[in-house]
A and B are shown apart, each in its own frame.
Chain A
Amino acid sequence: MIKEIFLALILVVPAAMAMDANSSDIRAAYVEINGGGTYSNSSDLSLFSSLSTVSGAAKAGNKFLCLGYLCFSLEQINIRPTVTFILGTNATDTERAAVDEKSAGFYWPYELNKYFACVEDAGVTNTPTFGIVFSGQQLNYIEIENTTTNYILRMSQIEEDNKFLLPATVGGCSNIGSKLPMFTLSPFVPGAEQANSIEMFLSYPFVDIIGNYQKSGKISVVLEKNNTNQIIVDVI
């Protein structure tokens, strides 16, 4: 009797559930009605305590999502590419490496307050400091591997609007941390240099801009779309 009630409930709501199973990373590719009984490869399945948990409980690694007799085949879609930069340095006795002032290890974004990895050498005057600082849109992870002779700094972020800063500054890792988050790009420790000129620019990391020109005065800028993501810029 319970099975019948449950099946009736499923028949009333399956479309809604299939829609709910979709997200930017997961989709329910098709619906398959099994003949009943326990699914033969149940060790790979995740159990859900109630219907209400279906919409948000699937993991990318799961192959199927089942509600009683109704199973959805899941596949990963639209996984956003990641870019990873690695920086390795020799480790001396006075050097120390840190991720957001934590020790070497692997860290997801939720484990960190500030997104940077660095190596400092307090044995040298002014404590020279090198590292990788996140300046993009979405961090993936940060890792520092500490071998006997090297520190390997590794930072991964989502490719869209990615940016890494590679500091070569002074004052140690704490000094980098104190400047983050950096809403306006500026030196970690300013130098004495004066500046009386500016450069304003448009940056198109997702477009292939073709052309190399420098011109002053009255100019005609001719833009032509040559390919899906390619624009030729001519200056007359």
Chain B
Amino acid sequence: MKGFAQAIVAIAITVGISIIAVNTIMPIINEEKSMQSFQESKNSLSTIDEAVRQMLLESVGSRRQIDIDVRSGRLVVAGDEDKIKIQMEGYKLADPGTTIQEGDIQIRTSGLVDAAEQDIDGDGNIDLVLNNSLVSFAVRKIGNITNWSSIDTSSIITQIMNRRTNTTIMPTSGIMINDKAGTSLGTGYTTLTETGINIPSASILVFMNSTSGTQYEALFTLSPATDFVELEIKNLKNA
């Protein structure tokens, strides 16, 4: 009888130790899997980037096919933003709103951004609105990709709202190339690159075919948990 009791105790101890071991090891295994997926995603983007940069030096018509496996996330080709992204859930690398540059890859900790069309200032015109927890930013909706309308960059920003102080400014603005007044107005359109609630990031694209003949795009991007809007002027032609 005594031997039976000892056997039961031994089994219980063994099972207990096993459970503790599994509970200890599994997070480590999961963490390693996560890190492996993270590294694989970075490698995939590096491969794509290398191909793109090589092709820029090659003649028109050059072509590449790259096979990748995005196991824990999704690949996003965002043509309006001229970006190629991989979005992944379940990672906390840095404080919210932080963007880290690793070579040509930028890694941004994500949160929540809303992007929608609405009349934010009640003037009867539709605006393109980006919201995160700290900032609301709106640009007037003008034309579309097939039907360009008049654009004056001095009046495209409808409002910038500081949500922490509930302070809103309705600024005048302006974008100029080489400080030439004729590049700040012309025809074109504004559009949201993505719409939705709780999305990883969103941008407003302004396409300008200016009266001076210069063409360019202005990209306003609001990232999650940031208290600023990023602006890049890109695809400049005939400057």
Residues of A within 8 A of B (CB): 81-90, 121, 124-130, 133, 135, 150, 152, 154, 156, 159, 162-170, 184-229, 231, 233, 235
Contacts and interface: CB of A to CB of B under 8 A. Distances in A.
B87 to A, nearest CB: 5
B99 A187 contact: no
Interface in B122-168: 132-135, 137, 154, 160-162, 164-165, 167
B51 A223 contact: yes
Interface stretch (B1-9, B17-25, B89-97): B89-97
Contacts of B205: none
B85 A199 contact: yes
Given A83-B175, A202-B45, 12 more contacts: A82-B178, A86-B154, A86-B174, A86-B175, A88-B173, A129-B162, A185-B226, A193-B97, A196-B91, A198-B108, A202-B84, A203-B106
A186 B176 contact: no
A126 B165 contact: yes
A156 to B, nearest CB: 7
Given A193-B111, A197-B110, A184 B98 contact: yes
Interface in B181-239: 200-201, 216, 219-220, 224-236, 239
B41 A204 contact: no
The 5 closest A-B pairs by CB, nearest first: A86-B174, A88-B172, A205-B234, A185-B99, A195-B96
Contacts of B220: 166
A167 B135 CA distance: 9
B121 interface: no
Question: Helix, strand, loop or mixed for chain A's interface?
Answer: strand
28 contacts: A83-B177, A85-B175, A87-B171, A128-B162, A150-B172, A159-B239, A162-B232, A162-B233, A165-B229, A169-B164, A185-B230, A186-B97, A189-B164, A191-B164, A194-B96, A195-B110, A196-B91, A202-B45, A202-B85, A206-B234, A207-B52, A209-B82, A209-B84, A214-B76, A218-B67, A225-B58, A225-B61, A231-B52
Contacts, number: 327
A124 B166 CA distance: 10
Given A204-B83, A225-B60, A197 B90 contact: yes
A215 B75 CA distance: 5
Contacts of B178: 81-82
B83 A201 contact: yes
Contacts of A124: 165, 167
B82 A217 contact: no
A195 B77 contact: no
B69 interface: yes
A199 B200 contact: yes
B77 A223 contact: no
A127 B165 CA distance: 8
B231 A190 contact: no
Contact of A198 (B60, B88, B101, B177): B88
Contacts of A185: 98-99, 108, 226, 230
Given A195-B110, A233-B77, A170 B174 contact: no
B56 interface: yes
Contact of A193 (B78, B86, B133): B133
B106 A128 contact: no
Contacts of A121: 167
A130 B229 CA distance: 11
A197 B161 CA distance: 25
Contacts of A164: 230-232
B10 interface: no
Nearest to B112: A193
Contacts of B82: 203-205, 207-209
B33 interface: no
